[in-house]
Amino acid sequence: MLSDGDFQRVAELMRETAAAELLPRFRNLAQDEIRQKRPGDFVTVADVASEQRLATGLAKILPGVPVVGEEAVEKDAGLVDLIARPHLSCWIVDPLDGTANFAAGRDRFAMIICLVHDNETIGGWILDVPNDRMAMAGKGQGVTLDRKPIRGGVPGRAPKGLIGYRIRKEFDRQLDSTQRQRLGELSTLNCAGREYIEILDGHFDFCLYRMTKPWDHAAGALMMQEAGGQALRFNGIGYRPGDKVDSGIIASPSPEVVADVRTLFEAVQLPLLVPRS
């Protein structure tokens, strides 16, 4: 569906959009340019402007393919249903991942785009905007970080993870010392896109989250798989972007790390974090 040239066009569109809509507004927002959609869920004028520019550009790359953008979904929740349509395609866009960081002047934010066909991610792009690092993946074509092919492997240390706060707290509370020592540092950057970049760059080894909005995780899950690893739901089924958002994700470029983390996760009692049926 996408040529090599198209992959580069998406990357160029993201960099152009970041330069035009995000970077000029970083640490330069007025209070009335920031609001909360719900407690703790921020949106800024930069999110909206970035999404509009990206949607226009993507329509030129693949005419007729709809765009499911995070901010558009806020206005029309039914757009999410486009993701799981059989035999059809759509773009999924997070125009500013890590909005709370961006609004607070913290330089941990990203831009994420993925292309889905038949409820499978077939292309993914993540731009670490402040550091201009670009990860790209195509289904069956591998993953690159700044044009360098990435292949995962078993880390030579206890795996370090990026993990939601409540689950991290329960890991530290419930795992005995022997179990906990099987894991290294557990942290969060509050920016899924930046976290997937850090995993690809070897600074962390896995991520684990319950809430998995497709614009946060669809591209990164593909990248973990294309690096030789896995992205699994909490029930052990492979990640698909149209699944329920509370199905959870455990993802790593190393299948061995995914297996070990799943074993430890299943040893912890998290009744409030079990996916709803």
Q: What angle do CA 128, 130, 131 make, to 5 degrees?
A: 65
70 labelled as ligand-binding? yes
246 labelled as ligand-binding? no
Length of the chain as a residue count:
277
Distance CA 159, CA 255 (A): 12
CB-based burial, 224-246: b 16+ in 10 Å, e otherwise: bbbbbbbbbbbeeeebbbbbeee
**Residue type for 35, please?**
R
Count of Cβ atoms closer than 10 Å to residue 275 Cβ: 15
97 labelled as ligand-binding? yes
Number of H helices, E strands in the chain: 9, 14
The string of DSSP letters for 147-208 reads: TEE------SSSPPEEE-HHHHHHHHHHS-HHHHTTS--EE--S-HHHHHHHHHTTS--EEE
Distance CA 216, CA 196 (A): 10
Distance CA 16, CA 96 (A): 14
Binding residues: 70, 94, 96-97, 216
Binding residues for Mg(2+): 70, 94, 96-97, 216
